[in-house]
Amino acid sequence: MSGGGRSLIAMMEDEKGWLAQVLIDTVNEIAAISDFRPPVKKPYCNLARRLKLLTPMFEEIKESKEAVPEESMNALMALRDALDYAKEILKLGSEGSKIYLRPGIPRTSKATSASTPAERTKIESLLLKLTSTNPEDQRSAAGEIRLLAKRNADNRIAIAEAGAIPLLVDLLAVPDSRIQEHAVTALLNLSICEINKGCIVSAGAIPGIVQVLKKGSMEARENAAATLFSLSVVDENKVMIGASGAITPLVVLLSEGTQRGKKDAATALFNLCIFQGNKGKAVRAGVVPTLMRLLTEPAGGMVDEALAILAILASHSDGKIAIGAADAVPVLVEVIGNGSPRNKENAAAIMVHLCSGDPQHLVEAQKLGVTGPLLDLAQNGTERGKRKANQLLERINRYAEQLPSSETHHHQTSDTEQPAIIDS
């Protein structure tokens, strides 16, 4: 008895040390991510810096000889998943953001524009035209402000200081589609400046942006989606945007938009679904069937985005059910075998959630020959990919131990035969 007790304690200590090291490695990977795009640079740098502060705590847990209660271990496992999601969004801000606007010029002042008096006079004259009752004046002024806001950081500050934001928000509701397009794109460009994000939201822009997203021209809808992404960098805005009815039209744009529109919609949905309350909204809006369709159209160029969003949704109970009902397992097994390193890890992460407490998906994956690709991923994948592969392999082994020997032999036979069928 006593020997068994010591063995169990040793196993718990090993698990604690392994988990602490995984958390340390993940934080180090987060700290190495850099070169964030202008709309997200400040909050993402702050997030990476704050997460780095967790390292001493993880090192203390790793070196401690005291046992960690099961409740605390579960909390650390949940924290590990949260850090994985944080790493994903930071990578997106560094590598994958689809808002390619000119970077701002470094500033010595946070809130004061360096625009010349002549430039400020020009901006004021444009604002007068924005308030005109003549649609032609409004259209030309909004178009010029759109270009000025794209040009440099000083213009973005000066335009906001002059009071343009509430006027542009009002123009989101006009019937002229071209004016709408200029107004929403001007707000997008202004939102690159961190302090302007709050001004845009305070001016009541979100409902107007959502309306353009629903009914505007295709270019206006694309830029509305990009604006919502930019604003959603601020956590409290994720809640507000989700509550404003933005998610359903984003799913529609993801389904029927141009290539650029789909990318903008996917980026916005990814960011919004980091907030747990928006995941259910996205599932109810039908995002899972749309993502599955994009996942099975490799030529469409949306596989990366589809898997990244599915990996977030799979952690939600409704998302897990919807993904399981969408016959996702064969596609995920194929990606684990033949996808890019990032896609393999996301596919494995989705499978971990699907197979948690549901042997049906585990059996299906085994029959499709997932074990071989998982063994390869556990050896050669990304750090997160290795973890997810090992979790799945552990579930497969645990399930096999519970089966009668005849059934175990049957599953092993299927697992060795199936890769040849997939490859053919």
Hey, where are the domains in the chain? 11-95
Long-range CB contacts for residues 171-175, cutoff 8 Å, separation at least 24: 171/130, 171/138, 171/142, 172/205, 172/208, 172/209, 172/211, 172/212, 173/208, 173/211, 174/135, 174/138
pLDDT of residue 420: 29
The backbone region for 301, taken as left when phi is positive above 0, alpha when psi lies in -120 to 50, beta otherwise, is left
Residue 26's identity, in one-letter code, is T
Tokens of 7: 């063995």
Provide the sign of the torsion angle of the four alpha carbons 65, 69, 71, 77, taken in this order. Answer: positive
Q: Residue holding tokens 């071209």? A: 178
HSE-up (13 A, CA, CB side) for residue 419: 13
Give helix 41-52 / helix 70-91 axis angle, nearest 10°: 150
CA dist 296 and 111 (Å) reads 47
Q: Kindly give the confidence (pLDDT) of every residue in the chain, 424 residues in length, as a single tens digit, with 9 standing for 90 and above.
A: 444 443 444 445 567 778 888 888 888 888 888 777 766 777 888 788 788 788 778 877 887 777 777 778 778 888 888 888 888 888 877 765 444 443 443 443 444 556 677 778 899 999 999 999 999 999 999 999 999 999 989 999 999 999 999 999 999 999 999 999 999 999 999 999 989 999 999 999 999 999 999 999 999 999 999 999 999 999 899 999 999 999 999 999 999 999 999 999 999 999 999 999 999 999 999 999 999 999 998 788 899 999 999 999 999 999 999 999 999 999 999 999 999 999 999 999 999 999 987 789 999 999 999 999 999 999 999 999 999 999 999 998 988 887 765 454 555 444 443 332 222 2
CA–CA–CA angle 49, 228, 203 (5° rounding): 100
- Output the pLDDT for position 113: 58
The sign one gets for the Cα dihedral 235, 239, 242, 245 is negative
The DSSP secondary-structure symbol of 104 reads: P
Among candidates 43, 41, 101, 130, which has minimal Cα distance to 226?
101
Query: From CA 95, how far away is CA 409, in angstroms rounded?
Result: 45
pTM of the predicted structure, to 2 decimals: 0.71
Instruction: Collapse the DSSP code of 417 into the 3-class scheme (helix H, G, I; strand E, B; otherwise coil) and give the result.
Output: helix
Nearest to 384 by CA among 57, 36, 30: 30
